[in-house]
Structure 1
Amino acid sequence: MPETATETVPGYQVLARRYRSRSFGEVVGQESIAETLERAIDRDRTAHAYLFCGTRGVGKTSMARIFARALNATESAGEGQAVEDAILRGEDMDVVEIDGASNNGVQDARDLIANASIRPARSPFKIYIIDEVHMLSNAAFNALLKTMEEPPSHVKFILCTTEPHKVLPTIQSRCQRFDFRPISVPGIAAHLADVLARESIEADEAVVLRVARLANGSMRDGLSILERIVAAADGRLDAELLERVLGVPPEDIVRDVVSAIGGGDLAGTLRAMATLLGEGLAPERALDGIAERFRLLLSAGVCGADPEILGTGPEEAAALVDEASNFEPEQLVHMIALCDAASARVRVSASPRAILDAAVARMAMSERFARAASLLAGDTDTATPSKKKSLTAAESPRTTEASVAQPVTGAATGPKPESTPVIARAVESPTKAATPGKSDPPGDSVTPERRVVASATSAAAVNDAASATDPPAEKAGDIDGESPGPWARLEAAATTPRHRAMLADFEFDRLEGNDLRLRRRDEASPGADWTVSHPESLERMASEALGRRIRVEFVGVAASEPASTPIVEHDVESHPLVADAMELFDAHVVQVRRIDGSPKVEEPVARTERED
């Protein structure tokens, strides 16, 4: 890096020009390429054409000038220094810099070829640096093919491009290609800190690191951003000045938005977003800031408090790790994708604020939008984020019933201390309540699901609650001396939504030997008819739960005919779309209805056509 600005150029120079690299050792982030070119010169193994590829501001043109300077270096002290300075400024007569965007025609290529035959004036080589070479036309590329393949011995070509895929393969095959990588955040931050030190400007470390992140791997962009902040500064560079000058989302407000999302606070999320937009930000800029915050949290949650990976200071890295504990990596990936999709929509929408608020509200309510496939598979652990609040008891009634059935059985087998409450579940329907010998306790209403809360003053009181719940044949509520009872074991075995839905339509009547008798609830779904006519799935589940072959009988229910004929049911279930839906949703066909105007698939003619 130069100690001072180039003295031969009058007037003020921007930082990007004043602190441009002047030697291989000063190039930041491209050490391997610099070392390769330097060794090629030392060993006299330089090629006749080079192709430098990479994004903007990573050092392609600077490396080309440094390489040309090293190739044309002379032993004369005075003249050699003048030549080197002219090359670095792009003003030397033997190092010709051509803008490919404005000299892209075939005639420009012909002029280059004609001038290439003229020997250099004062240097060993005549070097052509063609910047943005991908802008040349196909005719210009084709005109250069022969010259680039077999140029005069005194000619070297250095092609620079940000879009190598637009350069003809025939041109690329004639060059040695070097791909310049984006510069790392620590590398840019170190260079910016060095520039500020040489300019005697004080700045917060957080400001330097944030500018380095905003540069997106481009050193020139980083220096240009820093130039804007320095021009507006009246003393030390701080975060408030950076946000005011650059118009980027304030980090403290973005942190509030993300914190409210992580806590599931919908109202707090919308309030924080309103504050963020109140800073004068466009909706897409606000979403970009939130997405960047989620990216930092994702890196912090997975990689830990690593300042080099996060591009932050040690204190901020530790704070990011604490904040990331409110999220799962899967959530953060999903939210980044939501921000990206919403950002694209708000740019073309007539109501960008509505899309923005809906997007952040969707993130705050992410636990309520669990992945459909996970929920349908009964995998509540993966569908609901473990670090956010889980479903309440009201949202998961089947799990609650199975969990409260256990204390009843335990209470019936032994006394409890007087201070220990016992929760017993009594499941009754109005039909069952009207059955003789099954009257309700005084003051208790008849509901599909009731929970009787009593103080366990004696074992007799618990037995009374159990007798009000279970039929006389199962006085202790267990089977073969085991606990829990048969209904609780059935509920525990219903691990899929399909099985839980089947059990929800019925209530336990009694278990006699291998015969399980169930009673249909009054509020049963239409799928209960299908279960009554097709009890095989329920019998298999009961056999696995109770450890022996079980036959299911339905008390007080006449088996109704299925809604469709066997031919229709078979045809529908064998349809690829229906089969995929049954597999995805773990479902079965309950009813088949024919739409007006559609063919009757149960007709023999249609059946024959399908068989053919």
Structure 2
Amino acid sequence: MAHIALYRALRPQTFRDMVGQPHIVQTLQNAIREDRLSHAYLFSGPRGTGKTSTARLLAKAINCERGPTPEPCNECESCKRITAGSVMDVVEIDAASNRGVEEIRDIRDKVKYAPTEVRRKVYIIDEVHMLTTEAFNALLKTLEEPPAHVMFMLATTEPHRLPPTIISRCQRFEFRRVSLEEQAEWLQDICRKEGIRAEDEALVYISRLSDGGMRDALSLLDQISSFTGGQVTLHDAVEATGGLPSEQFGRLAAAVRDSDAAAVLREVDEMMRAGKSADKCLEQLMHYFRDLLLAQLAPQAAASAGRVAAPGELRAMAEGFPRERLFSIIDVLNRYQAEMKYAAHPQTMFEIALLKLCASDADAASADGAAQAASAPPRASAAAGGADLQRLQQQVAHLERRLEELQRGGGIASASAQAGGGAAGGLSARGRGSAPGAAPAKSLRSRVKLDPFLAARGAPNSLQALSKWPQVLQRVKEERVTVHAWLVDGEPVSYADDTVLVAFRNTIHRETTEKPANKQVIEGVLSALLGHPTQLATVTQKEWQDALAAGGGALREEAAAEELRLVPEDGGEPAGEPLVDEAVRLFGEELVVIKDE
């Protein structure tokens, strides 16, 4: 037996045939009995749940020659012709293809004429949300006050796209998805009437795939019965719909659970060789993990809403996954499903998504172990670290008091002379001997001693610490973008005594960076990246350049003296110079030239 267009042949002929919407059927039947019908109805809900069928049944019920009646007789001439769609007074319009204002104006011009064939003129507008704004405006007045012989029935899957003025002028009915049990029972009844031999598991599988839509379920049954010649089995249903058996989903989920990448690739290869599409497999796999999550969180809901596997299988598999792991898997699959739409090689994206699930599970396990190992030493050395922390807090408090005194008194020059007296004295003394044009010591307004930073400039550990400055800027930007905006004006110039010295071009930027809250953010990032507590010191570019100029002569004197010491008294080969040796090692002997200035 050929089952072509089974859905059209088995459309509901009476309200008794409507499945899954008893509250709507009862309300409409009571309105017919009590003669309290509205002039406009709005039927909204998911696709395939009976919105347009209900509108046709209501049109037959109010125009039946034996009525108006709660159940159309389907025997009179009016019922037969309305079922066949040959009554001119029952007009069904598809708003998706007739969405302009001209079509609605044509309706508005014709509603004033009385019906010629039946009792009441009925306009059924399907997918009404597709109308344009102008068309809604043209429909509004007619919908509000139509003639007594006219009734409007609007159907839509997206009621939120309708103007509130249209919704408020209609009686609204919300159609719900049909439950799994109701669908399976209804499909069994159809198979008995049509002589189709179907397994119960196959009908349940069809019901899961239809996602609560009766039209989709009937179309799938029509497709599968045509494919198998009236013998519907679960295997045939899976093959005909391009789906995957639940056992294969189970194997794939077990491979992800065990982080077995080789097993995952084998399963994907088997799916592709069977002619399955990667995007469809990913979608069904995401539904499978969603069902696993429901089996954990809401077992009763999982029994009625499962799409891919039986509830018993889902519960058994769900026991092997932590709840947080299922959330993470669904999130990853959903993200890759969105990216797969634009991928040139969907199969590769599918494989990468599954491999990422395997790798993330292993990484999470190793990260947990590392976190536990890292958390043990601080607890063991809490007593030893307490004294260091207290000492650091006292130093910070002392420095903050000094800073407040300087800000109140305005004595930056004198304070800098006290704080950097050693540096200034050393630099000025050597500067007077070898650099006549050097700036005097009192012009250096640095709040920090620059001697250690001048001495450490160019040292390997200093260069290594300063090389991490781009990472410091990025981490500071991630933590607080306003601090990054001030800090980016500075340039790290030296590193000594667990302190990074940063020279600023702008005084305002430097002072803002020195604020305790901002400085705390920067020092936290420095400590994290360098692996030990690290402080921040700041100067202006001018202060640093003056210090370099004042110290340059002294450095040249020391270099000359060192060069004299390199020549032994016996006239032998000079002793090795560490800086020269390092330069030769880095650039080669041919490129290194030693000049005596």
Change in 2 beyond 3 A, CA 1:235/1:128: closer
1:198 and 2:193 aligned: yes
Partner residue of 1:42 out of 13, 33, 37: 33
C-alpha separation in 2, matches of 1:599 and 1:197: 91
C-alpha separation in 1, matches of 2:541 and 2:160: 58
1:362 and 2:347 aligned: no
Partner of 1:574: 517
Change in 2 beyond 3 A, CA 1:185/1:576: farther
Conservation of the 8 A alpha-carbon contact between 1:20 and 1:62 = yes
TM-superposed CA distance for 1:139, in Å, is 2.6
Structure scoring higher RCO (CA < 8 A, sep ≥ 6) equals 2
Conservation of the 8 A alpha-carbon contact between 2:140 and 2:166 = yes
Partner residue of 1:330 out of 317, 324, 330: 324
Conservation of the 8 A alpha-carbon contact between 2:278 and 2:350 = yes
Conservation of the 8 A alpha-carbon contact between 2:126 and 2:154 = yes
Q: How many residues align?
A: 429
TM-superposed CA distance for 1:247, in Å, is 1.5
Structure with more of its chain in helix, by fraction: 2
Partner residue of 1:100 out of 95, 102, 105: 95
Partner of 1:258: 253
1:130 and 2:121 aligned: no
Q: Which amino acid aligns with 1:563?
A: T
Partner of 1:405: none
Partner of 2:413: none
C-alpha separation in 1, matches of 2:522 and 2:169: 57
Partner residue of 1:84 out of 75, 79, 84: 79
Change in 2 beyond 3 A, CA 1:203/1:601: farther
C-alpha separation in 2, matches of 1:255 and 1:491: 48
Change in 2 beyond 3 A, CA 1:192/1:73: same
C-alpha separation in 2, matches of 1:579 and 1:207: 64
TM-superposed CA distance for 1:588, in Å, is 8.7
Conservation of the 8 A alpha-carbon contact between 1:206 and 1:312 = no
1:240 and 2:183 aligned: no
Residue deviations 1:231-290, cap 9 Å, x none?
110453223212322212333222211111112222222222222222222221121121
Secondary structure of 1:159's aligned partner? strand
Conservation of the 8 A alpha-carbon contact between 1:342 and 1:355 = yes
Partner of 2:347: 353
Partner of 1:120: 115
Partner of 1:490: 380
Change in 2 beyond 3 A, CA 1:301/1:599: farther
Change in 2 beyond 3 A, CA 1:139/1:302: closer
Conservation of the 8 A alpha-carbon contact between 1:53 and 1:162 = yes
C-alpha separation in 1, matches of 2:163 and 2:112: 24
Conservation of the 8 A alpha-carbon contact between 1:33 and 1:178 = yes
Change in 2 beyond 3 A, CA 1:398/1:118: closer
Q: Which amino acid aligns with 2:34?
A: R
Conservation of the 8 A alpha-carbon contact between 2:41 and 2:154 = yes
Q: Which amino acid aligns with 1:138?
A: T
Aligned CA-pair RMSD: 4.2
Conservation of the 8 A alpha-carbon contact between 2:140 and 2:165 = yes
C-alpha separation in 2, matches of 1:186 and 1:222: 13
Partner of 1:139: 134
Secondary structure of 2:173's aligned partner? strand
TM-superposed CA distance for 1:215, in Å, is 1.1
Secondary structure of 1:365's aligned partner? helix
C-alpha separation in 2, matches of 1:493 and 1:46: 82
TM-superposed CA distance for 1:189, in Å, is 2.1
Change in 2 beyond 3 A, CA 1:104/1:569: closer
C-alpha separation in 2, matches of 1:136 and 1:360: 43
Conservation of the 8 A alpha-carbon contact between 1:581 and 1:587 = no
* Superposed counterparts of 1:515-594, under 5 Å: 561-564=497-500, 571=514, 574-575=517-518, 578=521, 590-591=533-534
TM-superposed CA distance for 1:107, in Å, is 2.9
C-alpha separation in 2, matches of 1:273 and 1:355: 11
Conservation of the 8 A alpha-carbon contact between 1:569 and 1:589 = no
User: Which of the two has higher C-alpha Rg?
Assistant: 2
Partner of 1:282: 277
Q: Which amino acid aligns with 1:129?
A: I
Change in 2 beyond 3 A, CA 1:36/1:165: same
C-alpha separation in 1, matches of 2:156 and 2:524: 51
1:295 and 2:290 aligned: yes
Partner of 2:439: none
Partner of 1:157: 152
| Structure 2: runs of 5 or more not aligned | 390-460, 466-495, 503-509, 545-597
Moved more, 277-286 or 254-263: 277-286
Residue deviations 1:575-606, cap 9 Å, x none?
399379769x89997446899xx976998xxx
Conservation of the 8 A alpha-carbon contact between 1:215 and 1:222 = yes
Change in 2 beyond 3 A, CA 1:577/1:119: farther
Conservation of the 8 A alpha-carbon contact between 1:211 and 1:225 = yes
TM-superposed CA distance for 1:229, in Å, is 0.6
Q: Which amino acid aligns with 1:358?
A: I
TM-score, normalised relative to structure 2: 0.63
Conservation of the 8 A alpha-carbon contact between 1:73 and 1:80 = no
C-alpha separation in 2, matches of 1:306 and 1:104: 40
* Superposed counterparts of 1:494-509, under 5 Å: none
C-alpha separation in 2, matches of 1:368 and 1:581: 30
TM-superposed CA distance for 1:224, in Å, is 0.9
Residue deviations 1:379-398, cap 9 Å, x none?
x4xxxxxxxxxx4xx99656
Change in 2 beyond 3 A, CA 1:602/1:358: farther
* Superposed counterparts of 1:150-189, under 5 Å: 150-189=145-184
Secondary structure of 1:370's aligned partner? helix
TM-superposed CA distance for 1:494, in Å, is 11
Change in 2 beyond 3 A, CA 1:350/1:135: closer
Change in 2 beyond 3 A, CA 1:98/1:590: same
C-alpha separation in 1, matches of 2:380 and 2:371: 20
C-alpha separation in 2, matches of 1:291 and 1:158: 38
Q: Which amino acid aligns with 2:280?
A: R
Partner of 1:57: 48
Q: Which amino acid aligns with 2:256?
A: I
C-alpha separation in 1, matches of 2:250 and 2:47: 31
Change in 2 beyond 3 A, CA 1:108/1:347: closer
1:22 and 2:41 aligned: no
Moved more, 144-153 or 164-173: 164-173
TM-superposed CA distance for 1:78, in Å, is 8.9
TM-score, normalised relative to structure 1: 0.61
| Structure 1: runs of 5 or more not aligned | 6-10, 381-390, 403-486, 500-524, 530-559, 604-612
Partner of 1:341: 335
* Superposed counterparts of 1:376-525, under 5 Å: 380=368, 391=369, 397=373, 490=380
Secondary structure of 1:151's aligned partner? coil
Q: Which amino acid aligns with 2:497?
A: E
Q: Which amino acid aligns with 2:25?
A: A
Q: Which amino acid aligns with 1:117?
A: K
Residue deviations 1:454-494, cap 9 Å, x none?
xxxxxxxxxxxxxxxxxxxxxxxxxxxxxxxxx99726999
Partner of 1:74: 65
Secondary structure of 2:205's aligned partner? helix
Conservation of the 8 A alpha-carbon contact between 1:203 and 1:238 = yes
Partner of 2:433: none
Conservation of the 8 A alpha-carbon contact between 2:209 and 2:307 = no
C-alpha separation in 1, matches of 2:212 and 2:11: 16
Q: Which amino acid aligns with 2:109?
A: A
Partner of 1:271: 266
